[in-house]
Amino acid sequence: MQNKDTMEGRTGLNFQTPLIFEQGSQGRSGFSLPEDDLVETNVKTSLDSNSLRAPIEGMPELSEAEIVRHYTRLAQQNMSVDANFYPLGSCTMKYNPKINEDVASLPGLSGVHPYQSEGSTQGCLQMMFELERYLAEVSGMDEVSLQPAAGAQGELAGMLMVRAYMDKKGEKRHKVLLPDSAHGTNPASSALCGYEVVELKSNSEGLLDPQTVAENMSEDVAALMLTNPNTLGLFEEQVKEICRAIHEKGGLVYCDGANLNALMGIAKIGDMGVDVLHINLHKTFSTPHGGGGPGAGPVLVKKELAPFLPVPVIRKEGERYSLNSNLPQSIGKLKSFYGNFGILVRAYAYIRSMGPKGLKDVSENAILNANYIRSKLQETYHVPYKRTSLHEAVFSDKHQEEYHVSTLDIAKALIDYGFHPPTIYFPLIVKGALMIEPTETETKETMDRFIGAMKDIAERAKSEPESLKESPTRSLRRRLDETMAARKPKLCCDV
Ligand SMILES: *Cc1c(COP(=O)(O)O)cnc(C)c1O
């Protein structure tokens, strides 16, 4: 074990908090108001009975300080990027500059109402229009919809457009090709659109072979969904050949661009022959995420698919911006109003403050950091695909197997060192995968501390493997019995 004093994640001043229903005392109140001099009316007689709720049994009654402490303590138990390194592969948990939060909370942007007239929201429409253009530029695509609320919804929108395009051409294609390294949302999106999924095996290098694609391509296949860089953090080098094999037989190519953090300013997905793409703004373009908060997964298409975009689309005529719902072949509306506007503001502020050079620096540093971690840990942990990675590095527990230490033990042990565990057991094609994505925002010192912790854990796997089975021991919650937690969830805590 590292010296306690240098370890992060000390728990001494972290507090438990009981359920709010277990706190307070009858009659206690969180506010006090001066006496008013208005005539009292009884709500029970002035409102109809449908508008009145029944009394709530055991409603908590707390002082202001008790409430503030309760929620602050809960918030402190929540690991965040603002607190420490969060190397959750495929999720791009980068630090989000606070200036973007400031911009998103400007009264003119946070207070705007979706039912306001177009005349009074020209600035918002202009911002969204320009964001569409920036994303099209970064990715090499033609037209954009910012509406989807997440990557998965962007995929759904994209695959619905593929289906609409095929229907328009009168083609009855019923299959979608997917590499075995794909993110789980890909087969789900295809299936939701009524497609049968055909899995393609990655080759020994962890890449998709144009030959494999060609062999499985037929007039029954509507599209191939690929991810680049793929979920092994590797760049699919033969995308052009792959796209050719699909296009030759009349299919379309969908690219999952959730991981754009490695490509900005370096390579454009559109130039590789891709027809549909989604981008996760909450990964690459600065939105705090991880707790299931709002996101945005814009979908981008080449010109021939533009008629199918979700409505409304943003138009610019002269100096005037408008929302246009008159798109007869559109797949329809996906999200109330125009998506998660606040996330779009953050992405806009991020892109404007970084500029083209800044975005390229982001990608270069994200790649550099991932390769730094890979090269420092490749002697200690097994690397299934030995080649330069892009934004993330995938390891496995193969070297620790002989000591009966698993990926789960390694991940849980990291919590005792103050680090959020990486993504584990994904991608599925790597047995016992540990998928580490440092992002560009981490310093060398932070990464060195993480590398030190990982090495320490590998040493302990040899010398005291039982201790790893106990971990985490320094967190507020110990290791859960995951089967019990799923089968018999215990939804309140004993303190
Ligand atoms: C995160 C991710 C998704 C899904 O995005 P959500 O916003 O979580 O729906 C899809 N594909 C890949 C490769 C991802 O990393």
The full DSSP string for 104-152 is HTSHHHHS--TTS-GGGGHHHHHHHHHHHHHHHHHHT-SEEE---SSHH
Model confidence at 485: pLDDT above 90: no
Q: Please give the share of the chain, as a percent, with pLDDT higher than 70.
A: 96
Supply the residue whose CA is at minimum distance from atom 3 of ligand 1. 151
Q: What is the C-alpha separation between 251 and 223, in angstroms, rounded?
A: 5
- Please calculate the CA angle 149-138-87 and round it to the nearest 5 degrees: 60
**What residues flank ligand 1, with Cβ below 6 Å?**
90, 150-152, 183, 185, 227, 231, 256, 258-259, 280, 295, 297
Q: What is the C-alpha separation between 2 and 160, in angstroms, rounded?
A: 53
For the CA of 231, the nearest atom of ligand 1: 13
Map residue 431 onto helix, strand or coil.
Answer: coil
Supply the residue whose CA is at minimum distance from atom 14 of ligand 1. 258
Averaged pLDDT, 19-40: 90
Structure tokens at 402: 């002989």
Domain residue ranges of the chain, discontinuous segments joined by +:
99-353, 357-487
What does the H/E/C string look like for 7-57? CCCCCCCCCCCCCHHHCCCCCCCCCCCCCCCCCCCCHHHHCCHHHCCCCCC
370 or 294, higher pLDDT: 370
Strand locations in 212-280, DSSP E?
Answer: 221-227, 252-257, 276-279
Structure tokens at 178: 């997917």
Averaged pLDDT, 310-316: 97
Supply the residue whose CA is at minimum distance from atom 5 of ligand 1. 151
Dihedral angle sign, alpha carbons of residues 364, 366, 372, 375 = negative
Residue 152 Cα to ligand 1 middle (Å): 6
Predicted pLDDT of residue 11: 55
pLDDT digits (tens, 9 = 90+) for 192-232: 999 999 999 999 999 999 999 999 999 999 999 999 999 99
Residue 460 Cα to ligand 1 middle (Å): 34
Query: Which CATH number, 1.10.645.10, 3.90.1150.10, 3.90.550.10, 2.60.120.10, labels domain 357-487?
Result: 3.90.1150.10
pLDDT digits (tens, 9 = 90+) for 41-94: 888 888 888 889 888 888 999 999 999 999 999 888 888 898 899 999 999 999
Q: Mutation test of ligand 1: which of 90, 231, 281 has the most ligand atoms closer than 8 Å to its C-beta?
A: 90
Model confidence at 12: pLDDT above 70: no
Average pLDDT, the chain: 93
Averaged pLDDT, 183-190: 94
Residue 79 Cα to ligand 1 middle (Å): 20
Non-local CB neighbours of 260 within 8 Å, separated by 6+ positions: 138, 139, 279, 280, 283, 284
Residue 463 Cα to ligand 1 middle (Å): 38
Q: What is the C-alpha separation between 198 and 65, in angstroms, rounded?
A: 57
Strand locations in 380-465, DSSP E?
Answer: 393-396, 423-424, 433-436
Predicted pLDDT of residue 267: 96
Averaged pLDDT, 332-347: 95
For the CA of 297, the nearest atom of ligand 1: 7
Residue 182 Cα to ligand 1 middle (Å): 10
Sorting pLDDT into bands at 50, 70 and 90, what band is 491?
confident
pLDDT digits (tens, 9 = 90+) for 355-364: 999 999 999 9
Q: What is the C-alpha separation between 130 and 311, in angstroms, rounded?
A: 18
Q: What is the C-alpha separation between 178 and 153, in angstroms, rounded?
A: 18
What are the φ and ψ backbone dihedral angles of 422, each rounded to 5 degrees? -75, 175
Predicted pLDDT of residue 495: 43
Predicted pLDDT of residue 493: 54
410 residue type, one letter: I
Q: Mutation test of ligand 1: which of 147, 185, 287 has the most ligand atoms closer than 8 Å to its C-beta?
A: 185
Residue 185 Cα to ligand 1 middle (Å): 7
Model confidence at 236: pLDDT above 50: yes
Sorting pLDDT into bands at 50, 70 and 90, what band is 5?
very low
Supply the residue whose CA is at minimum distance from atom 2 of ligand 1. 258
Map residue 394 onto helix, strand or coil.
Answer: strand
Q: What is the C-alpha separation between 212 and 229, in angstroms, rounded?
A: 18
Residue 13 Cα to ligand 1 middle (Å): 35
The fold for domain 99-353 equals: Aspartate Aminotransferase; domain 2 (3.40.640)
Supply the residue whose CA is at minimum distance from atom 6 of ligand 1. 151
Predicted pLDDT of residue 379: 97
Sorting pLDDT into bands at 50, 70 and 90, what band is 490?
confident
Residue 278 Cα to ligand 1 middle (Å): 9
Backbone torsion region of residue 333, taken as left when φ is above 0, otherwise alpha when ψ lies between -120 and 50, otherwise beta = beta
- DSSP letter for 298, please: -
Please say whether the beta carbons of 390 and 235 come within 8 A: yes
